[in-house]
Amino acid sequence: MTANAGASDAAGLGRARAVAFVTPAFLLIAAFLVFPAVWTIWLGMTDFRLTGAQAADPQFVGLDNYRAALTDPAFHNSLWLTIVFVFGSAIVGQSVLGFLIAWTMRSVPKTVKAIVETLVLMAWILPSSIVAFLWVAFLNNNGGTLGTILNSPDTAWLLEYPMASIIIYNTWRGTAFSMLLFSAALGAVPPSQLETARLSGASTLQQFRDVVFPHIRGHILTNTLLISLWTFNDFVPYLLTAGGPDHATETLPVFIYLRALYGGELGYGSAISFIMLLINLVIALFYIRLLRERRTANRSGDADADDAKADADEVLTAAEARNVGQ
Amino acid sequence: MTTVNRRGLARRAVPAISILLLGTMVAACDRSSGSSAANPTQNASATDVALTVTSNAISGGKNAAEADWYANYVIPKFTEAQKAKGVNVTLKFQPSGVDDEQYKAKMALDLKSKSGADVIALDGIWVGEFADAGYIKPLADVVGPNVTSWDGWAQIPKAVQANASYNDKVYGVPGGTDGRVLYYNKKLFQQAGLPADWKPASWQEILDAGAKLKAVSGVIPIQINAGTAMGEATTMQGALDLLVGTGAEIYQDGKWQGNTQNTRDVLGFYKQLLDQGLMDKNIQQAAKGRDESFAAFAANKIGILLEGDYFWRSVINPDKGSAPMATRDADVGYAEIPAKAKGAGVSGQDLVSMSGGGGTFLNPNTKFPQQAWELIQFIYSPDAIKAALAGSARITARQDVNKEVLSKDPLLSLISEKVLPITRYRPGLAVYPQVSQALQQATADIVSGKSVDEAAATYQGAVEKVAGGADKVQKS
């Protein structure tokens, strides 16, 4: 340890100054990340309410809230809806559509590519409240755009097909990220290999399976995990359906909002939040482990793969910045 | 080697983070425990005063007339009046234009974090839970004993004062009261062959009128609020009005109404309306269903609608309504709500209604308690109230103003003379909003197709949970 100290202190700061440098970061993390998380655990073990006597003097109830959640059919319903929503809109919708766009855009004229990419990006960068307003107008049953186009102006899309509506909405909303990530990844597939495959008479499907897929496997996993996390925590469906009709789109974030703020059950809401945090942690740990494995794999990979990773990392950084901004 | 270093770092980082964590927690606890009640005389003689007043009203949107009144009357006039006394007041109005439940959550969070406007408008039904939480305090605690010397109190009847009181303590100044009736579209009634002066005497007569309206194409015959999306509007302009029509109140003899014959009658009536195609399912389930029902009524697409006088004043009002109806006075009729059958209502009444009302409250954390109280007195002065009415009428808290204005409006005369004597109020108990939510869910279950017995049984379970035991809930 002592022998290594000099070698690991590459900046030559010394321990005291190094600590001084990281202290502000630790303070921020403690105040805005660790403390709220711990506070949530504590609140989840009380009968804390937004109003009433329990707001002034909450009582410790131990694990009652967690027990109540695990036997609450409304929570089960919500968890199931969240899984359906994540699977439908993120894993299937955004990934597949994003990949298809990225794949198609490789072989079209530059102007078409620019137009398509701009349109897809627009859906991604517009503020949520505005987008929600547009979609409510689009799906409205009193002369909404979709109803008018399909000549069925009385169809209440958000009420008759609530889950399908928010899945399609979220696919539209978030495809840009997958598209960007995959076009960066596809750019790094060596053309020589594709050419060889084509010359040997490989079909498009075979080209994808044997040439493209091995190169972008890591990106597919990264992409899936990231968009799963974001979609899992996404609150925007509330702006479209408010969790309705009759709890049909009450995904976990909406469920927590309705219970904690609308219903005032802050304690119960905190308990569910903590369960959600645990689910997020599991996904995140899985992701970190995966990245570590990729890093080891990359060390033995070729230069092209590293380029692709650099490109993809740029996209990731941009995405993180956007996600923080939300 | 790298793992060794990482562990070493972790060993040093963990205690560092724990200390930081402890520090933030201690700081947070310190903040929440330092809830010293405001001193009534604080800044009493200040010459530079900043005050904020808030209400669920916004110019061009919800309760637009009220928001405009704050901007065009209260702010300039109050500032002027204070200037004459040598006090420089900066008064701001903080608008809001959202559903009542969202406004309530916003106010609760504001008050919880010891911030928010100095003067706050709240619904009377929230007073209990806000007071229990310590978010609002009795006026005498915030302003001091001189609060009773306001001459306005003599003009406000005790029954109306109850709207802003809790456990016999006055928390604010009540804003008046209201009543609920059945509105109907005379044009559609004519097309359906129904009389222009419709006076239903039973629920059956409402159904009969609905059946005739159904023959007019493109019309939703009846709208009586149901479902969870409308929140308290479902209970207040729906379930509770029907419930008093069966002869029971939601809380009577120290018990909540659970799975009783009365509750099942109410749910059964909803079921009839839906099964016979007299009511639109979508409006009850849509996120903005109540607004949709307003727009549909204003567009002559709803035959009968149960609403309060708010609907007449602020929604279909041709001048400043949120869904203005230019031909309101000629085309919209109103009738008192009948009990289930003649004499079946509460106290054997033939006709029933529900009433409520908001009030204006002081934020206990205000820096200027005396000046904020002066602002409330100003808001409730006869001149300010008359300016707020701007020629129209509503049942205000003050009897001197009511005497002048109510006779001008035929609907308001009906409500003050016929409806208020027979109306019922919601119980001022902190747990009421949760019972109300359970009742909303029961109507939502009916809308989504569940049977009356199923919905009523679920409702019973939910009320038992919030009331704190089966012995506090009536079942039959």
Distance from CA of A61 to the nearest CA of B (A): 15
Contacts of B299 in chain A (CB under 8 A): none
- Rg of the Cα trace of chain A? 24
pLDDT for residue B237: 95
- The pLDDT tens digits for B427-447 are 888 889 899 999 999 999 999
Count chain A–chain B contacts defined by CB atoms under 8 A. Answer: 110
| pLDDT score for B141 | 92
Residues 242-281 of A with CB under 8 A from B: 242, 244-246, 261-264
Q: Please, what is the end-to-end C-alpha distance for chain A in angstroms?
A: 43
What's residue B324's pLDDT? Answer: 92
Measured CA angle at B262 (ends B277, B197), to 5 deg: 55
User: What number is the average pLDDT over the span B385-391?
Assistant: 84
Could you read off the pLDDT of B263-276 as tens digits, one per residue?
999 999 999 999 99
Supply B401's token pair.
């103003």
Above 50 in pLDDT, residue A95? Answer: yes
Distance, CA of A184 to CA of A203 (rounded, Å): 23
For position B27, what pLDDT does the model report?
45
Task: Give mean pLDDT, residues B190-214.
Answer: 95
Tell me the C-alpha distance between A214 and A314, whole Å.
21
**Cβ atoms A15, A245 nearer than 8 A:** no
Q: Quick check: B21 and A242 CB within 8 A?
A: no
Q: Give pLDDT tens digits for A260-280.
A: 988 889 999 999 999 999 998
Q: Is B133 in Cβ contact with A55 (below 8 Å)? A: yes
Look up residue B163 and give its two tokens: 């709207």
CATH superfamily to which A64-325 belongs? MetI-like (1.10.3720.10)
Q: What is the pTM of this model?
A: 0.81
C-alpha distances in Å from residue B463, one per residue of A185, B2, B251, B428, B456? 56, 59, 11, 16, 10
Percent of chain A beyond pLDDT 70? Answer: 87
- The better pLDDT of the pair B137, A202 is held by B137
Q: What is the mean pLDDT of chain B?
A: 88
Task: Indicate whether A31 pLDDT > 70.
Answer: yes
Whether B101 sits inside 8 A of A262 (CB atoms) is: yes
Chain B interface includes A53 (CB < 8 A): yes
Least confident of A9-18, B218-227, B308-317: A9-18
Please give the share of chain B, as a percent, with pLDDT higher than 90.
64
Tell me A190's DSSP state: -
Which residues, including other chains, have CB under 8 Å from residue B240's CB and lie 6 or more apart?
B250, B354, B424, B426, B439
Reported ipTM: the value is 0.78
Residue of A8, A27, A52 lying closest to B430 (CB–CB): A52
Q: Which residues of B touch A156 (CB under 8 A)?
A: 282, 286
Q: Is B28 in contact with A51 (Cβ distance < 8 A)?
A: no
Ramachandran class of A73: left when φ > 0, alpha when ψ lies in -120 to 50, beta otherwise: alpha
Contact between chains at B108 and A241 (C-beta distance less than 8 A):
no
Please tell me which residue of chain A has the smallest CA distance to B35: A56
**Mean pLDDT lowest for which of A4-18, A160-174, A310-324?**
A310-324
Choose from B31-35, B300-304, B308-312 the range with maximum mean pLDDT. B300-304
Residues 144-163 of A with CB under 8 A from B: 156, 158-159
Select the residue of B16, B132, B292 nearest A53 (Cβ to Cβ): B132
Residue A245: asked if its preceding bond is cis (omega within 30°), the reply is yes
The pLDDT of B451-469, averaged and rounded, is 94
Tell if the CB–CB gap between B28 and A142 is shorter than 8 Å: no
Write out the DSSP string of B95-142.
Answer: ---S-HHHHHHHHHHHHHTT-S-SEEEEEGGGHHHHHHTTSS--HHHH
pLDDT of A2 reads 45
Helix (H, G, I), strand (E, B) or coil at A87: helix
Reported as a pLDDT band with limits 50, 70 and 90, residue A7 is: low
Residue A35 has pLDDT above 70, yes or no: yes
Would you identify the CATH topology of the domain B180-355+427-474?
A: D-Maltodextrin-Binding Protein; domain 2 (3.40.190)
Pick the more confident residue, A207 or A173: A173
- Measured at the CA of B308, the angle between CA B302 and CA B313, to 5 degrees, comes to 85
Q: What is the mean pLDDT of residues B400-405?
A: 86
Q: Where in chain B is the domain with CATH 3.40.190.10?
A: 48-174+357-425, 180-355+427-474
Q: What is the pLDDT at residue B326?
A: 93
More confident residue, B46 or B1: B46
pLDDT at B71: 94
What pairs with residue A46 in β-bridges?
A60
Question: pLDDT (tens digit, 9 = 90+) per residue, A186-242?
Answer: 988 888 888 898 898 888 888 888 888 888 888 888 898 889 999 999 999 999 998
What is the pLDDT, as a whole number, of residue B12? 52
- A93 min Cα distance to partner chain B (Å): 25
Query: In this predicted model, what pLDDT tens digit does every residue of B332-378 receive, in sequence order?
Result: 999 999 999 999 999 999 999 999 888 999 999 999 999 999 999 99
CA–CA dist A169, A251 (Å, integer): 15
Domain ranges for chain A: 64-325
Q: And the tokens for B259?
A: 């799975």
For B106-136, the pLDDT digits (tens) are: 999 999 999 999 999 999 889 999 999 999 9
**Widest pairwise Cα distance in chain B:** 92
Q: How confident is the model at residue B416 (pLDDT cuts 50, 70, 90)?
A: confident
| Helix/strand/coil for B454 | helix
Q: Does A221 touch chain B (CB under 8 A)?
A: no
What is the least distance, in Å, from the CA of B25 to any CA of chain A? Answer: 7
User: Touching check for B8 and chain A: CB below 8 Å?
Assistant: yes
* Interface contact A56, partner B, CB < 8 A: yes
The whole-number pLDDT of residue B3 equals 42
Distance of CA B209 to the CA centre of its chain: 29
Give the pLDDT mean for A163-186: 94
Confidence of residue A5 (pLDDT cuts 50, 70, 90): very low
Confidence label for B38 from pLDDT (cuts 50, 70 and 90): low
Quick check: B4 pLDDT over 60?
no
Owner of token pair 């992701």: A287
Neighbouring residues of A152: CB distance < 8 A, sequence distance ≥ 6 = none
How many residues does this entry show for chain B?
476
Is domain B48-174+357-425 in CATH 3.40.190.10, yes or no? yes
**CA–CA separation, B213 and B304 (whole Å):** 9
Residue range B221-240: mean pLDDT, rounded: 94
Q: Cis bond leading into B421, ω under 30°?
A: no
Q: CA-to-CA distance for B361 and B381, rounded, in angstroms?
A: 15
Residues 150-209 of B with CB under 8 A from A: none
Least confident residue range of A112-121, A130-139, B21-30: B21-30
Please state, in angstroms and rounded to a whole number, the distance separating the CA atoms of residues B445 and B267. 9
The DSSP call for residue B36 is P
Cβ contact B134–A56 (<8 Å): yes
pLDDT at B31: 41
Contacts A264 to B, Cβ<8 Å: 105, 108, 129, 433-434
Look at residue B34 and tell me whether its pLDDT is greater than 60. no
CB of A83 within 8 Å of a chain B CB? The answer is no
Q: Is A26 in Cβ contact with B430 (below 8 Å)?
A: no
Q: Which residue of A lies nearest to B16 if distances are taken between CA atoms?
A: A26
Touching check for A68 and chain B: CB below 8 Å? no
Q: Could you read off the pLDDT of B74-98 as tens digits, one per residue?
A: 999 999 999 999 999 999 999 999 8
